[in-house]
A and B are shown apart, each in its own frame.
Chain A
Amino acid sequence: QKEVEQDPGPLSVPEGAIVSLNCTYSNSAFQYFMWYRQYSRKGPELLMYTYSSGNKEDGRFTAQVDKSSKYISLFIRDSQPSDSATYLCAILRDNYGQNFVFGPGTRLSVLP
């Protein structure tokens, strides 16, 4: 079983839709979870950071962690064409800060 799994998409939605992006992971000891957004021909940029379980909201973005199911989600409300990008989940394997595992990314297109 892979450490992190993520549907690569592509996912196409109309402008204004609610988008749900998801990752599953295998190790119940993981505690720190992140979402990155990567535009075409750019480096990934940190979008959201969560610790342990629960929800974290930042504007139109909500990150959710369900440790019992080993499932993390990123929700985008009122999606915009500018949200079109690849979204990567990243999980910290340990508490020392250097050992990340990244999902392959989900490519999202928001159509005007």
Chain B
Amino acid sequence: DADVTQTPRNRITKTGKRIMLECSQTKGHDRMYWYRQDPGLGLRLIYYSFDVKDINKGEISDGYSVSRQAQAKFSLSLESAIPNQTALYFCATSDSGRGPRGSAQYFGPGTRLTVL
């Protein structure tokens, strides 16, 4: 987990507030991802980025936006938080240079977000 760090680790906020979650990695990987995890639903992809200029929506991108500030930094924003965005959020990285066999993702420790 030390190679992929997330801040903050915990956040409680109110409906309508803007929230930013940050992710940094020292693995040298080019690909970065944001997931949310909800009980019984598994991990679901919000956004992914293949490099600084390549950002793509995942399966549940509505209500979220991202910014890839550098190869090592990828932030997730909730422009106007709502209670059903309460979840555990994970950043992950992977290395495209190894093709499909190297597509295994490495996760950060997570951010527990509560929207009241």
Evaluate whether A88 and B43 lie within 8 angstroms (CB atoms) in the complex, with A43-B110, A44-B90, A98-B31 already known: yes
* Residue B12 lies at the interface, judged by CB distance under 8 Å to chain A: no
Evaluate whether A98 and B33 lie within 8 angstroms (CB atoms) in the complex, with A42-B1, A45-B107, A104-B41 already known: yes
* Residue B103 lies at the interface, judged by CB distance under 8 Å to chain A: yes
Residues of B within 8 A of A104 (CB): 40-42
- State the total of A-B contacts with C-beta under 8 angstroms: 70
**What is the size category of the interface that chain B forms with chain A?**
20 to 34
Bound: A48/B47 CA distance, A = 25
**Docked-complex contact A42 and B110, CB < 8 angstroms:** yes
Evaluate whether A32 and B110 lie within 8 angstroms (CB atoms) in the complex, with A97-B94, A102-B42, A104-B41 already known: no
**Docked-complex contact A98 and B50, CB < 8 angstroms:** yes
**Docked-complex contact B45 and A100, CB < 8 angstroms:** yes
B87 to chain A, nearest CB (A): 14
**Docked-complex contact B109 and A32, CB < 8 angstroms:** no
**Docked-complex contact B103 and A102, CB < 8 angstroms:** no
Residues of A within 8 A of B44 (CB): 102
Residues of A within 8 A of B109 (CB): 41-43
Q: Interface readout for B1-35 with A: 1 if CB under 8 Å, 0 if not?
A: 10010000000000000000000000000010100
Q: Which residues of chain A have a CB within 8 Å of any CB of chain B?
A: 4, 6, 8, 31-32, 34, 36, 41-46, 49, 51, 88, 90, 92, 95-100, 102-105
Name 29 interchain pairs, CB-CB below 8 A, sorted by A.
Answer: A6-B42, A8-B40, A31-B100, A32-B103, A41-B109, A42-B109, A43-B1, A43-B90, A43-B107, A43-B108, A44-B43, A45-B1, A49-B104, A92-B103, A95-B99, A97-B96, A97-B99, A97-B100, A97-B102, A98-B31, A98-B50, A98-B56, A98-B94, A98-B103, A99-B45, A100-B43, A104-B40, A104-B42, A105-B42
